[in-house]
Amino acid sequence: MEQQCQDELYMKRCLQLARNAEGNTYPNPMVGAVIVHDGTIIGEGYHQKAGQPHAEVNAINAVKNSSLLENSTLYVNLEPCAHYGKTPPCSLLIRQKKIPRIVIGCKDTYSEVAGKGIDMLRAAGAEVIVGVLEKESRELNRRFFTFHEKKRPYILLKWAQTRDGFMDIDRLAEGDPKPTWITDEWARRMVHKWRSIEQSIMVGSITALKDNPSLTVRDWSGSDPLRLVIDREGKLPHTLALFNGKVPTLVFTEKKDLLFDGVETVPLTPGMSTLSSILNELYRRNIQSVMVEGGSILLNAFLEECLWDEARVFVGEKWFESGVKAPIIPQHPVSDEKFGNSRLFVFRNK
């Protein structure tokens, strides 16, 4: 029991380290590693960016006295890789350093690994423990696992609604073309943080036209996500902020002759649903996550086709009494918390 508690303690540290690189490791997962000798951490590290050394390498390099490795335990939240990619396999390095005990959070289901790293270490005579804080380890890299197991990006739906369930007023009736804010600056800043974490962000043509959003990270630090716009009929004006060429943007359309300066157009697959066509293309491009910030039509389309993994819904204090109805998720949220002048509800697709 004492050993189990120790293993969980150090695995928590691995997860903490891994989270430091959130949003920066695509297409790689977030991984942290800790090396312990006689109850003392002698090295730790995390994978910071694709193409750079993996967590295990950084942890091993952080050990000042490498002779201690032969009597140490390596903790890592994801199975060490066993293939040559942009870097050599970590399992080979661990074996070369003769680390006798390896504790792993969860198995890597990516086909190039998928147990091969564990087999390599066990074949070398190491004691390998798998499944310590497995649920937490998979949760941390849920985008990575969804991408490789479901062959599509992790889909995060996000919207704000009033207490009486409306996303927007009827702007045509009101004669007001501007967006009507439901939340405050704190919620908007949090949304920009989320944008910096997700690999892409999507809106439909109605939202693009009515709100003219930039879909960039302005109130937070980090990279702008790849912008995705659905414009089936090719009617959106080229003057929109989404088409300024400053951030990579994909326009999904049925119009073969649709051209945008500095923007890539992607034809939708005939005979396939719009969403399936888009998700297949994103999978082909190695895009592991998409945040959907569209209007009710696009959000409901994802919900109706059961193509979603998580939904984050801000409920503000305002009442509209009429307007554009917000989507309804017929299940209980997994969490809710007070956030500025609104409340944030988080749902997971069961």
Helix ranges restricted to H, 128-219: 134-140, 142-150, 171-174, 185-197, 205-211
**Phi, psi dihedral angles at 295 (to 5 degrees):** -85, -170
Residues 6+ apart with CB under 8 A from 272: 280
CA distance 248 to 24: 17
Reading across the β-sheet that carries 310-315, which strands appear in turn? 264-267, 249-253, 226-230, 200-203, 289-292, 154-161, 310-315, 342-348, 335-339
User: From the CA atom positions of the chain, what is the Rg in Å?
Assistant: 23
Catalytic residues: 56
Question: Contact at 8 Å (CB) between 51 and 74?
Answer: no
Count CB neighbours of 152 within 10 A.
Answer: 20
CA distance 333 to 326: 16
